[in-house]
Structure formats: C-alpha cells, structure tokens
Structure 1
C-alpha cells in the first residue's frame, strides 16, 4: 500500500538527487575524511538519525493507519511517550540510584518487539484496545531509547556533538523521503525496527554515564549545595523547547491529508546548509543563539502563511514551520547534550526532561492543528484569528521571554560537581578554617545558623550531612544555602571554597 497521490510532496527527484550528492561531496571534502575510522562517532550519529527517523516514519507511515482502527490512539501514545520521559527525568533527579540502565535496556527491547507485533496484529484484527495498549508500550520504550541516545552524545565534546546532530538531521531528511516515496508497509517496518537498532548502537556508548549517575547522589540532593551544577526543571531552556514543539505539532496536523502531514521538501535546504557549515568548521561555527533567532523567523512566517486564503497556503505553512522546527530541534539536541557534557551527572535528567517537555508541546500543537484544519472550511475567520493569536504569542515570547536568554550562557552556566574527597581545604587546621569562616561570616553578616551551614560547606559537607547534624529539613538547608550564596555573591560551591582558601591564605 503506497502513499496517497495527493499527499505526496511536490518535488523534483532529479533536483533532490543533485542536491543530496552536492551536500555529501562538500561535507566529505570539508572534514569527514578525518572521521572515516571513528566508529563511535558514526555509531552515535546513526543512532540519533534512527531516533529522528522513527518520528518521521511514525507520522508519515504508521499514524495514518491508526485512523482506520482508532484515531485517538495516536494522541494517547504520544502522551504516554511524554509521561515516560518525564518519569525518567524525575527518577534521575530524585532517585538516580534506582536507575539501572542495563535492566531498562533489556526491557525496552522486549517491549518494542512485543508492542510492534501487537500494533501489526491490531491492524489485522481492527482492534482498538490492542492498538492503544501496543502503541503506548512502544511509545514508552521509544522514550527511553531517545534518552539513551541523547546521553550517549554527552560523551563527546561540544563541537563534535554539533557535527553528530547536524549529520543526523540531514540523514533524517533522507529517511523522510523514503517514508513518502516507498510503500507504507516499508515505512511501518522501519518504524518498528529503527528504535531497536538505535538502542543497540548507543547503549554501550552511554553505559559509563549511566553508571556514574547511578553510583552518585541524586542531582536534587547535590543541587542543594551546588545549585549551578544542574539546570532547574523550570529553566528557560525547557520553556523554549515546549513552545517550538507546539509549532512542530501544528505543522504536522494543519492541512493533513488522509491522516498524514503535508509533504515537506524544503527543510533539507536549511539543514543541508547548516550541516556543511558545521562540518567545514569542525563544529565551531554552531551558533545556537543565532540559529534560534532564524528558526523564530521561519515559525512566524509559517503561522502567517496559515492565515492566507490560498491553495498553496497549507503547504507553505507546513514547510516554513518544518524548517523552523528542524533548525531549533538541532539547537535543542546540541544544548541538551552539551549540558550533559558540562556535568555528566545531570545528563540523564536534563535530556529526559527536555525531550518530555518537547513531546508535551507536540501534543498541544497537534491539537491546535487538528482544530484549525477542521474549522477552516466552516469558520475561516475564527481560524485566522486563532492563528494570528499564535503569531502574536510566539512573537511576544521571542521578543520578551527570550530577550535576556542565551543558549550559550546556559551551557556555560552549568558547572562540574565538586566531590567532597577532592577538596584540599580539609588539610588545613581546624582553628585556621574556623577563623577564616568567622571572618567571612562577620563581613557578610551571616546569621548564627547560616554560619554553621557555611562552615560545613567550607569543609565539603553535603546536604545529607548538614540535615543530620543540624536536625533540619532538606528545604531548610536549601534556603540557608541560597541565602549564603546571595550574601557572598557567588553561584557555585567551588566559588565558596575559593573564598575560604583565599581568606586562609591571607
């Protein structure tokens, strides 16, 4: 069974082949020859490409088949995917010792195999309940796969991460055309097989990171005394991911044909240009903030095109929104992995939370897109007003919400965790340390309880020790640390130690 003719993208196969060959040759001449024997690099690239391609095959090949059995199964499964990612993020943040990646990897492969068989059987039996159960199981396992692949990227330097991500997105563009031009059955098989292949490629690369996360204290506890080592769950980065994925969800469902999104050929152009620039510069020309601004322009243009009453408006809107989302998704993957590089112990929680928030944004955008498509024939003015509201809201967020936000600063703002056993200040005599702490406390007017907490921090104590020693709650310790840092005008535990060492030296 093939793609419906009216849903095929408008493209010239010869032009696509010529562009693909040009991009490939340019990338190879620029820098890829030096990585031809780097197996880990290519495994990580292939794994991320397969994760991205899974979404393409799902939206283009699998989801249209859901509509023949139970259309709401697609929305339920995406919601379960988001819930799984959020659950992983919370476990990694608050109970990281219970996160055994080996057990979860085995379970994920088994669930993907059984769930895929269940989805295929539900199509044959026309069984809604089997489709819902199987698709939800596959979506949950896919969520875990995306975390493993994202964590594997944190093993590389930031410039290398930029190269991996851009190459993976370029490969995903090619897979998108496979999904459009080949029979639906091939796309469905690829949807089943791609996440398993991605997990097999990435699990060994990510294994050391998961081991470190599991063996260390949970990020939520470490963040009490070292808040700058981890991104808060309400960080502006995650808000950005949510809003841009709203645009992505809208582009998938606005003007869809037979349950499939409108074909998009043009996103390969900005992605191809970005890939060439990134590879040619060995990843050093990846300007996250500039890319985000360019993606905002594409998204605004896409929403604006949706308000135009013309035959080409739906296709133009989908293409522009897809271009904007593709560029920002590149930024999102690079930034999430880069944060993990800066602090490995934060990588699992950061990537899982980021992808979970993105999935929630897709659900919201898809709901708006479905409503807009259904109402466009009966209430065109209402659709134009609603789309205009999206344009205004998105522009307001870009101008006001992102005014003082920088992706680069967000990455640099994450600091490495300072381990208790690496602190040299313990070598000092007790009297000298107490004198230094007392002098600093007097200078910044610390309260008696803050002085106690400050001295324990200066000795490298963690939040558990402080809670037990002072018989206070976790939130009380967190409040004291926040006040101490504010009075000292610092942001990290390392800065506190440096201040104390400097005082002792003087």
Structure 2
C-alpha cells in the first residue's frame, strides 16, 4: 500500500492509489452531481404540494449551515474530527429523510420544512466529504474525475425522468449516505490531520500565502456564476420542474473525452472561457427570441455545466495545496454556490412571471449578458484561476533557526542585529525572536498573554519591515545572518 505525503510532510496511509483512487473519486463526485439534480428535479417539486416555500427555507438553512462550518472550521478545526463529521452527516441525513417522509404523508408543512432543511444540510456535508476525499488525486486525474463524473451524472438525468417520483425521492435520500461511505476511507486521514493541527486562522498569520481570504475572486465568481446556474434551473420550468436539455451532453461529453485523451491537466481558465461563451450565447438567444427553446436550453446548460466542473476542480485543487484549509475553503465555496443558486432560482421565477411580455424577458436577458461581460472585462480581466492555484504556497514543516559553529552569534544576537537595522519596536522584536525559533501564533499568544489580533498585527509589521512573506523566509533570514 502506498503512502501519501501531507502538506506538513507527514505520511498517511492511502486506501487507494493512482487510477483506483481516481475511480472511487469519480463515482463519489458523480453521486454529488446526481444528488443536486434530484434535489431540484424531484424533491423540491414534491415539497411544493405541501408548502410552496419549502425549497427557499431549506436552501437558506443549508447556506447558513455551510457558512457557519466555514468560519468554525477556520477558527476551531478541533470540532471537526472525521468520526464526528461523518456521523453528523449521516445522522442529519437519516433524520431529515424520516421527517420529509412524515411531512409529505401527513401533509405537515413545519415537519416538511425541518426535514427538507436537514436533508439539504446533509447533502452539503456529504459534498464536503467528497471534495476532501479527492484532494490527493493530482491535477490531471482530478480534471478527468470531475469532468467524467459530471457527464455521467448528466446522462443519468434522462434515466431519472423515467422513474416515478417516489423512487427518485428515495434515491435523493440515500445517495449522500452512499457517497460518504464510498469516499470516507480517502477523506478520513485528511480530516484527522486538520483536527490535530493549529487552526487555519492561526497558521494564516505566519503563512498568508497559503490561505485564500473569504473575499477572494474565486468565491465571488462562484457566487455570480451559481446565480446563473440557479436562473437556468428555474427559467422556463414547467410546474416548477427544471427543463431537461440532453443536447448539452454532446459538448460536455467532448470535454470529458478531451480530459481523458490529453496528457496534460485541464485548464481552469479554459473552462471558465467556455462557460462564459456558452452562457452569453444562451442569454443572447433569449434576448432575441424570449422563449426557452432547445438551442437556448442547451447553451445555458453547457455554460452552467462547464462552470460546475470548474467549481469542483478549482476548490479541490486549492485544497490539495493546503490541506489544513481544505474544510473551510470547501465549506465556504459551497456556501457561496448555495447562496448564488438561491438568488438565481428566484430571479428565474420572477422572469417566468413576465413571460406574457416578451420585451421584458428580452430586456432581462440583455441585462444579464451585459452584467456577465462587464464582470469579465472590468473585474476578471487580470484574474486567473490557474495562477491562483499555483500561487497558494503549500504549508511545509518549519526548520527553526540555530546558531552554527562558524559564528559565535546566538539566535538572540542575530535577531537583535536584524531588528535594530530594520527598526523593530520592542514588542515586534520579542515576537520576531519567537518566530525565529519556529514558534506558532498559539504559543506566542499564551507566552505573551495577548490576543490573536494583537499577534496578527505585530507579525504583519515584522514581515513588512523585514521584507519577508512567510514564516520560513523569516527563519532563513535569521539563519543566514552572520
């Protein structure tokens, strides 16, 4: 059995290797994609018969939960050990499924809303487990796994349309449990590593290049393009059931074949451009002929499909660069996707209400096209998903500074020389010496009896004055001081 080396240099047993790991990840990702389709295609339309606002209430609860997990795991990763997380996801899913069944059979809106909220939360938790289980695939295999999983899941939509609603609802409740069971062995070691380490918030102080802020362009793009996804789901729907554009399988399948046959990894920026082109083309078709035809549906489905592949690809790739931050990043990315979908879906229904006036529908489509183009030209023009992934600096074990035999200078003397030359204050000098010895933020907090924000501010001042960008650079600077 092979071993995988963590971002901190530790070796962890890998339950599967190479293409075997990729196969398990493909199946688990496929389950995640199918789950979200069944949520919108089967579950939500059934819920509408009991309470029309069930989908909105459950989506809000799901978004709030993912947002809370993102912040809690950023500050308190010790709350999220693998056993606790997996059991919570399974328990939430089972409880939600039972409440959904009771709410539907007994026609109880409150019970149904509670059950639907728990099922939506469980789906989000399962999605995070799948993402974390895939972060050691490598870029090429990851691109293949995500693209192939999406295409296979998309093809299954035609099969689900032939099944009765009750069967699809049962699958909707069971699939997240199956995806957790499939990927648990791959995800467990990474969860437990995060559980054992310092919090990402603490580590980000001394290694800012290893962490993306929550306001990063990656997450803004997820919010905006998941808005388009939500709009595409609901605009033109019949009886609140999304349209099925199987024609999109051709270009999406071509992408999966391209990923399989190429020896190089998929380009995330290329995926983004494909998504933009198809989305703009679809909305232009709507602005010309404001009726959701097959060509329009295919173009919009391709645009959202390419971006779905991009979203999973980028989030998992970023997690592979810094496993310590994988949980908060995946939770936050899925939260942004959830909020974007909720907003877009309701805007799509608003547009459906204007169907009697084609001019209004055309104007809305034209506004969306303008917004997409404006975002790309004004905001996204210098941004690159590929460069963002490459720019994340993997966390590595620190090598503390030491005084060698060639010079009588101690670490304190070296730090004093550097600090005096760079104008460090007394407190900054004190923190500088702790950092030179490889101490982390938690140790400095406890030793100096100060707050996290105080340490963070002083560390940023020390870095700026010394001209370094990471903890290891600071240590290397001290190491080479003669």
Say if 2:235 and 2:349, in contact at 8 Å, map to a contact too.
yes
More divergent stretch after superposition (92-101 vs 110-119)? 110-119
Residue 417 (structure 1) aligns with: 395
> CA, structure 1 residues 36+277, in 2 after alignment: closer, same or farther (shift >3 Å)?
farther
Residue 456 (structure 1) aligns with: 434
Residue 302 (structure 1) aligns with: 282
The residue matched to 1:396 in structure 2 has which SS? helix
- CA shift at 1:37, angstroms? 9.1
Say if 1:302 and 1:317, in contact at 8 Å, map to a contact too.
yes
Structure 1: distance between partners of 2:18 and 2:417:
57
CA deviations on 1:103-129 (whole Å, 9 max, x unpaired) are 232232233233223323322322222
Say if 1:263 and 1:315, in contact at 8 Å, map to a contact too.
no
Say if 1:251 and 1:317, in contact at 8 Å, map to a contact too.
no
More divergent stretch after superposition (406-415 vs 120-129)? 120-129
CA deviations on 1:144-170 (whole Å, 9 max, x unpaired) are 101100000112222221121112111
Structure 2: distance between partners of 1:302 and 1:442:
62
Say if 2:403 and 2:410, in contact at 8 Å, map to a contact too.
no
Residue 347 (structure 2) aligns with: 368
Residue 256 (structure 1) aligns with: 237
Structure 2: distance between partners of 1:201 and 1:229:
29
Structure 2: distance between partners of 1:386 and 1:497:
56
Say if 1:61 and 1:179, in contact at 8 Å, map to a contact too.
no
Structure 2: distance between partners of 1:219 and 1:142:
24
The residue matched to 1:255 in structure 2 has which SS? coil
Residue 291 (structure 1) aligns with: 271
Structure 1: distance between partners of 2:185 and 2:440:
31
Structure 2: distance between partners of 1:125 and 1:83:
28
More divergent stretch after superposition (324-333 vs 488-497)? 488-497
Residue 12 (structure 2) aligns with: none
Structure 2: distance between partners of 1:85 and 1:205:
22
Structure 1: distance between partners of 2:131 and 2:99:
27
Query: Which structure 2 residues correspond to residues 74-93 of structure 1 after superposition, within 5 A?
Result: 74-93=55-74
CA deviations on 1:48-96 (whole Å, 9 max, x unpaired) are 1101101111211222212211121011112222222112211210110
Structure 1: distance between partners of 2:467 and 2:17:
48
Structure 2: distance between partners of 1:244 and 1:368:
13
More divergent stretch after superposition (400-409 vs 384-393)? 384-393
Structure 2: distance between partners of 1:279 and 1:395:
31
Residue 349 (structure 1) aligns with: 328
Residue 200 (structure 1) aligns with: 181
Query: Unpaired runs of 5+ in structure 1?
Result: 1-34
> CA, structure 1 residues 37+458, in 2 after alignment: closer, same or farther (shift >3 Å)?
closer
Residue 337 (structure 1) aligns with: 316
> CA, structure 1 residues 111+475, in 2 after alignment: closer, same or farther (shift >3 Å)?
closer
TM-score, with length taken from structure 2: 0.90
Alignment equivalent of 1:270, drawn from 220, 244, 251: 251
CA deviations on 1:201-227 (whole Å, 9 max, x unpaired) are 011110000000011111011111111
Structure 2: distance between partners of 1:341 and 1:285:
15
Structure 2: distance between partners of 1:37 and 1:288:
22
Structure 2: distance between partners of 1:354 and 1:122:
31
Residue 502 (structure 1) aligns with: 480
Structure 1: distance between partners of 2:308 and 2:290:
29
Residue 183 (structure 1) aligns with: 164
Residue 479 (structure 1) aligns with: 457
More divergent stretch after superposition (431-440 vs 326-335)? 431-440
Residue 399 (structure 1) aligns with: 377
Structure 1: distance between partners of 2:446 and 2:104:
58
The residue matched to 1:248 in structure 2 has which SS? helix
Query: Unpaired runs of 5+ in structure 2?
Result: 1-15
Alignment equivalent of 1:468, drawn from 438, 446, 461: 446
Say if 2:400 and 2:438, in contact at 8 Å, map to a contact too.
no
Count of aligned pairs between the two proteins: 465
Say if 1:155 and 1:206, in contact at 8 Å, map to a contact too.
no
Say if 1:418 and 1:493, in contact at 8 Å, map to a contact too.
no
Structure 1: distance between partners of 2:381 and 2:424:
34
CA deviations on 1:442-473 (whole Å, 9 max, x unpaired) are 45443443333223222211112323344432
- CA shift at 1:501, angstroms? 2.3
> CA, structure 1 residues 147+427, in 2 after alignment: closer, same or farther (shift >3 Å)?
farther
Structure 2: distance between partners of 1:468 and 1:108:
34
